[in-house]
Amino acid sequence: MNQPNILFIMTDQQRADAMGCSGGWVHTPNLDRIASEGVRFANAVTNSPVCIPARVSLITGRYPHNTTIWDNCAHDMPPETSTWWQKIRDAGYRTSLFGKTHLHRHTGDLRDREDLIKAYGMDDIDEIAGPRASARCWSHMTERWEQKGLWQEYIDDYAERFRHKPWVVRPSTLPLEEYADVYVGQQAKAYLENYNRKEPWFCHVSFGGPHEPWDTPVPYAGMYPPETMPLPTGCTEDLNSESLNGNLGNILRSAPESLSSKDIASMRANYAGNVTLIDDQIGELLKTVEARGELENTVIVFSSDHGEMNGDHGLIYKGHFLNGAVRVPLLVRTPETAARNSGGAVSESPVEWMDIGPTLVEYAGGELQHQQFARSLCSSVKDPNTEHRPFAVSEISRELMIMDRRWKCVFNREGEPYLLFDQINDPDETRNRVNDEDAGDILTRMEHQLFRHLVQTQVDIKWDGNA
């Protein structure tokens, strides 16, 4: 087989269950097609349940405790940073990016920092900011909005949304054809339609949705009746905020008290509409690759940087280790998996989202040489029954989570365990078992595993991404 083309599609803030093939409550025929022709990793977790540290970990293959990027912050990843994008370009690919990176700060004109994105490994670039930052950042997209007389109304709408309560649900002021996720999909589609270089292509399509606010445009805004949405998982006394001595306790104590069941149903319906909108854009990309006669020589990977609580446990957003925030969708489709005609496979092994990098480098025929800790998924794509990792790790605000096939344990910044969930018998995480009489051996084992992991993943040189 010749070097395959590579299509890497990612979203922002998409829950692991927000696909037809994983949760059944969102219509995603194109993602379901990718899953049916590939492998779905059912126990994939983000390396950090917020944007910037997750994305820095993805591109570098290093954990927040290596990069020192523990939370969202004003951050420019240094141009000399070693990335797997560079290794794909070095392997002979023409690399392109459409959409959001959040590898540098969302201020000013993003086009002024294209040299940074090129240093990270991209040749052709059309970058946008996220939904909120697009109310203040210049890009090709927002310049087009201004030329069409749309940007100021967008800015005013965003200011009004957050003036009273952050979970306002109403359609965007933008027409469908100008909505950010449509812009990203259509720019990538046009690029692929007109690609005529001799090098194989690597195209990274990074949608800004379904990240809040809940502003899916018409007609997708009304696609799902709120009453058909799944009910949120409940918060039990075991998750009472006063008993939690870590970050989640702080978040629960500041949770919006006025968030009603009607609010949650409306948010979920709007969110589902955004996911389906993005899925339709993905469908157009697949048709474009197919029309080029290249689908059978194209590797496709789909994932998201973190999830969205959407009312689970009375919470919105992310920033902690509950499943709605920390679990992410992950699909890998290759020419070989498509040829199996097996209807798709599911891997139950824990995986981390930064494992995408070395996976794509291996498919490109490249080689990672910098010190990093992500692991290629290629062996698990060939045999989904293999154990890719014995456990997965996620980090935020100097807190750590370790999750194996059954147990998830969270340690606060003092190294004390304060959450323990049985992921098999309590998938909705309604019972915190950290204080159970029979939890001692489990906690000790997971603490030892995590300590060994931290020792094995230290690096000699750390850079300060806050500069």
For 387, phi then psi, to 5°, come to -90, 110
Would you state the pLDDT for residue 89?
A: 98
Q: For residue range 170-218, list pLDDT tens digits in order.
A: 999 999 999 999 999 999 999 999 999 999 999 999 999 999 999 999 9
Would you state the pLDDT for residue 191?
A: 98
CA distance 420 to 230: 25
Better-scored residue on pLDDT, 340 or 446: 446
Residue 253: pLDDT band (50, 70, 90) is confident
Q: For residue range 142-163, list pLDDT tens digits in order.
A: 999 999 999 999 999 999 998 8
Residue 467: pLDDT band (50, 70, 90) is very low
Q: Would you state the torsion angle of the CA atoms of residues 448, 453, 455, 460, taken in this order, to the nearest 10 degrees?
A: -170
Q: Is the model's pTM score more than 0.75? A: yes
Specify the long-range contacts of residues 225-230, CB closer than 8 Å, at least 24 apart. 225/269, 226/262, 226/265, 226/266, 226/268, 226/269, 227/265, 228/25, 228/269, 229/25, 229/264, 229/265, 229/268, 229/269, 229/272, 230/23, 230/25, 230/268
Percent of the chain with pLDDT over 90: 87
Residue 461: pLDDT band (50, 70, 90) is very low
DSSP 3-state assignment of 296? helix
pLDDT at 164 over 90: no
CA distance 259 to 261: 7
Better-scored residue on pLDDT, 380 or 463: 380
DSSP secondary structure letters along 18-37: -STTTTSSS--HHHHHHHHT
- Beta strands (DSSP E) in 198-248 are 201-210
What domains sit in the chain, N to C, each tagged with a CATH number?
5-393 (3.40.720.10)
Q: For residue range 274-321, list pLDDT tens digits in order.
A: 999 999 999 999 999 999 999 999 999 999 999 999 999 989 999 999
Would you state the pLDDT for residue 249?
A: 84
Would you state the pLDDT for residue 312?
A: 93
